[in-house]
């Protein structure tokens, strides 16, 4: 490629990075943490579900039967069961839903006033995951029942990563477009890095600060090339699918009816009710699933035509040998019929690609092993724009004829320190905040309350970084604060739950123990790294002064 074209690509690479770099760091860093959002952080955030006994399938069958008599007949059109501690539920939920809403007395409604659709209604029963006692019940329109659902730090961080809590469509559009700009940065990066293969092992941290940034940026970029491409593509797809791709596909093939499009590919068919009574063998099917594949975990159960001879059960499961989510289908007698993935109905490779999008992005397709790899690489993805931005600043400030004033570079540096350092602190502050709002200052909806410490701390850091005289000192202090927050997570957990390292181990709370120990270790490592970095920087600065003096002398 001609050097003129490479120069143009370099300019494009730089400007895309400068414009989107901070936001990309924010998305990538929260994404790395979100990998463990469900169920690991969920379990840590809710100590009462950390060590649940295996689900009592007979009890679930009994509860469905018992409560099916407490709802009107048409509510049994579909029964949904959400299991605790698997994905986002902390409790066991059983929901009886009528897709066609409340029954309308035809005699009392004149022809012209008949509504086209009655809005779906449901009755939701919430049970304690340990005692299986009823803790709450709600009845009403489905959209109202889920309008103000309670959430905690795990949904908070995953939701922030998905749409920056800006909602649809703006939030999803923003993250989707960022995925596209990341792909653009990757492609331009490949072309401008001419010795991409030859220098893939090159890292010279002791020669100069600039060279350390340059080599680090290239090493993380080259080795993480395939991973970052996968993350950028799946991220762009997940962000844009709902707000752009689905409406566009619906417009082309379904006259703009998005619900119909989604139903065509994902909905489960309604059975033709024969009105022949037959108990639905829920427990038997549940138990059979566990024998199908190793590692298969049931998340949800949908029952159609409950209590009828034509009843069907659809178990939503993850894990096992397939990458995507699976639907395992049983008839009412508890006989296994088949299992398929969500988009298996689509012809060709389209179904496979759609099925792997979500697991590939979040790394939940191979247990903790893959999640650890995805998290560490996700941190690498976050470091890529950060090192790029620092490199841009370094080159700009040290250029013979800087393009912008030193003040401009300094203001931008402060924005980087505040924006990136702030999100790291805000993210780790969610851990103590979760426990604070759960035990010390109980609130109805912890997720909503978490907005204050999260965005408050982030804004505070941005403000301090913007007025502090030396941004390097601020960066160092931010690293220290992050280390102390990380170190505090374990003791806070011990204080609020009363369980120490050994009791957590003996109670089988390995996930929360893992989070506690990891955070503590990271805190110790960060403190050590700050000390070492100070030493290295002093060495490099001394080396630079010696070289400069020698050159001047010559």
346 binds other proteins (CB under 8 A): no
When binding is defined by CB under 8 A, the residue of 1, 107, 147, 198 that contacts other proteins is 198
In the complex, minimum distance from the CB of residue 320 to other proteins, in angstroms, rounded to a whole number = 10
φ, ψ for residue 92, nearest 5 deg: -90, 125
321 binds other proteins (CB under 8 A): yes
Select from 52-60, 166-174, 367-375, 394-402 the region that touches other proteins (CB under 8 A).
367-375
380 binds other proteins (CB under 8 A): yes
Q: How many residues does the chain have?
A: 554
Local structure of 55: helix, strand or coil:
coil
219 binds other proteins (CB under 8 A): yes
When binding is defined by CB under 8 A, the residue of 58, 350, 376, 443 that contacts other proteins is 376
When binding is defined by CB under 8 A, the residue of 289, 360, 382, 499 that contacts other proteins is 360
353 binds other proteins (CB under 8 A): no
In the complex, minimum distance from the CB of residue 231 to other proteins, in angstroms, rounded to a whole number = 10
Give the contact letters, 428-447, x = binds to other proteins (CB under 8 A), - = no: --------------------
Using DSSP bridges, classify how beta strands 312-318 and 326-331 pair: parallel, antiparallel or unpaired.
Answer: antiparallel
CA distances from 21 to 111, 247, 271, 388, 547 (A): 60, 29, 52, 8, 33
Question: Which among 181, 217, 185 is positioned nearest to 202, based on CA atoms?
Answer: 217
537 binds other proteins (CB under 8 A): no
CA distances from 477 to 22, 430, 433 (A): 19, 19, 21
Select from 148-156, 203-211, 336-344, 507-515 the region that touches other proteins (CB under 8 A).
203-211
Question: Which among 214, 232, 181, 174 is positioned nearest to 21, based on CA atoms?
Answer: 181
Local structure of 279: helix, strand or coil:
coil
- 257 in Cβ contact with 249 (< 8 Å): no
Q: What is the rounded CA–CA span in Å between residue 436 and residue 449?
A: 10
209 binds other proteins (CB under 8 A): no
Locate all alpha helices (DSSP H) within 35-169, ordered by sequence: 42-45, 57-68, 142-145, 153-163
Subset of residues 224 to 243 that bind other proteins, contact rule: CB under 8 A: 224-227, 230
Select from 96-104, 300-308, 336-344, 361-369 the region that touches other proteins (CB under 8 A).
361-369
Question: Does 39 sit behind a cis peptide bond, omega within 30 degrees of 0 on the bond before it?
Answer: yes
User: Which of 217, 414 has the CB closer to other proteins?
Assistant: 217
Local structure of 40: helix, strand or coil:
helix
- CA angle, corner 99, sides to 93 and 101, nearest 5? 105
Local structure of 69: helix, strand or coil:
coil
323 binds other proteins (CB under 8 A): yes
In the complex, minimum distance from the CB of residue 72 to other proteins, in angstroms, rounded to a whole number = 45
Q: What separation, in Å, do the N-terminal and C-terminal C-alpha atoms of the chain show?
A: 39
In the complex, minimum distance from the CB of residue 321 to other proteins, in angstroms, rounded to a whole number = 5
In the complex, minimum distance from the CB of residue 152 to other proteins, in angstroms, rounded to a whole number = 28
201 binds other proteins (CB under 8 A): yes
When binding is defined by CB under 8 A, the residue of 10, 132, 223, 314 that contacts other proteins is 223
Binding residues for other proteins, total number by CB under 8 A: 36
In the complex, minimum distance from the CB of residue 290 to other proteins, in angstroms, rounded to a whole number = 20
User: Which of 165, 543 has the CB closer to other proteins?
Assistant: 543
Question: Which among 418, 414, 411 is positioned nearest to 457, based on CA atoms?
Answer: 418
Site residues for other proteins per CB under 8 A: 197-206, 216, 219-220, 222-227, 230, 321-323, 352, 356, 360, 363, 365-366, 369-370, 373-374, 376-377, 380
């Amino acid at each position: 490629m001609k050097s003129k074209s490479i120069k143009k690509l370099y300019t494009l690479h730089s400007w895309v990075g400068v414009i989107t770099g901070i936001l990309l760091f924010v998305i990538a860093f929260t994404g790395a943490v979100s990998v463990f959002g469900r169920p690991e952080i969920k379990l840590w955030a809710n100590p009462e579900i950390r060590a649940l006994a295996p689900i009592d399938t007979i009890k679930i069958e009994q509860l469905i039967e018992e409560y099916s008599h407490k709802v009107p007949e048409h509510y049994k059109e579909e029964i949904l069961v959400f299991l605790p501690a698997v994905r986002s539920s902390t409790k066991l939920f059983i929901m009886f839903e009528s897709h066609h809403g409340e029954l309308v007395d035809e005699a009392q409604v004149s022809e012209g006033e008949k509504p086209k659709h009655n809005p779906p209604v449901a009755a939701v029963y919430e049970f304690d995951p340990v005692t299986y006692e009823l803790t709450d019940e709600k009845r009403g329109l489905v959209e109202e029942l889920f309008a103000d659902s309670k959430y905690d730090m795990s949904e908070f961080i995953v939701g922030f990563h998905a749409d920056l809590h800006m909602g649809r469509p703006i939030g999803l559009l923003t993250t989707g477009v960022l995925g596209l700009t990341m792909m653009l940065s990757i492609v331009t990066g490949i072309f401008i890095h001419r010795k991409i293969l030859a220098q893939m092992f090159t890292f010279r941290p002791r020669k100069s600060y600039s060279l350390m940034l340059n080599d680090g940026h290239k090493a993380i970029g080259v080795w993480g090339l395939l991973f970052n491409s996968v993350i950028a593509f799946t991220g762009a797809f997940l962000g844009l699918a709902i707000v752009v791709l689905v409406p566009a596909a619906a417009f082309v093939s379904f006259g703009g009816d998005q619900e119909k499009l989604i139903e065509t590919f994902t909905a489960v068919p309604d059975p033709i009710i024969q009105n022949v009574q037959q108990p639905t063998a829920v427990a038997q099917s549940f138990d059979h699933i566990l024998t199908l594949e190793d590692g298969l975990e049931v998340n949800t159960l949908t029952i159609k035509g409950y209590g009828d001879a034509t009843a069907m059960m659809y178990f939503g499961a993850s894990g096992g040998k397939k990458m995507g989510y699976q639907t395992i289908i049983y008839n009412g007698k508890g006989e296994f019929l088949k299992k398929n993935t969500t988009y298996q109905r689509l012809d060709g490779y389209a179904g496979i690609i759609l099925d792997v999008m979500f697991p590939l992005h979040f790394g939940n397709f191979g247990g903790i092993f893959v999640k650890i790899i995805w998290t560490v690489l996700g941190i690498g993805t976050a470091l890529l724009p950060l090192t790029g931005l620092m490199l841009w600043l370094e080159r700009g400030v040290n250029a013979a004829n800087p393009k912008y004033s030193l003040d401009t570079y300094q203001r931008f540096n402060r924005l980087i320190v505040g924006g990136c350092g702030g999100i790291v602190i805000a993210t780790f502050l969610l851990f103590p905040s979760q426990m604070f709002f759960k035990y010390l200052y109980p609130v109805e909806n912890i997720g909503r309350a978490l907005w204050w410490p999260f965005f408050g701390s982030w804004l505070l850091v941005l403000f301090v970084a913007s007025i502090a005289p030396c941004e390097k000192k601020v960066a160092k202090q931010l690293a220290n604060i992050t280390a102390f927050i990380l170190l505090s997570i374990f003791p806070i957990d011990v204080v609020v739950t009363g369980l120490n390292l050994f009791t957590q181990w003996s109670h089988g709370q390995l996930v929360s123990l893992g989070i506690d120990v990891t955070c503590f270790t990271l805190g110790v490592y960060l403190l050590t790294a700050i000390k070492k970095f100070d030493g290295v920087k002093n060495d490099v600065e001394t080396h630079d002064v010696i070289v400069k003096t020698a050159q001047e002398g010559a």
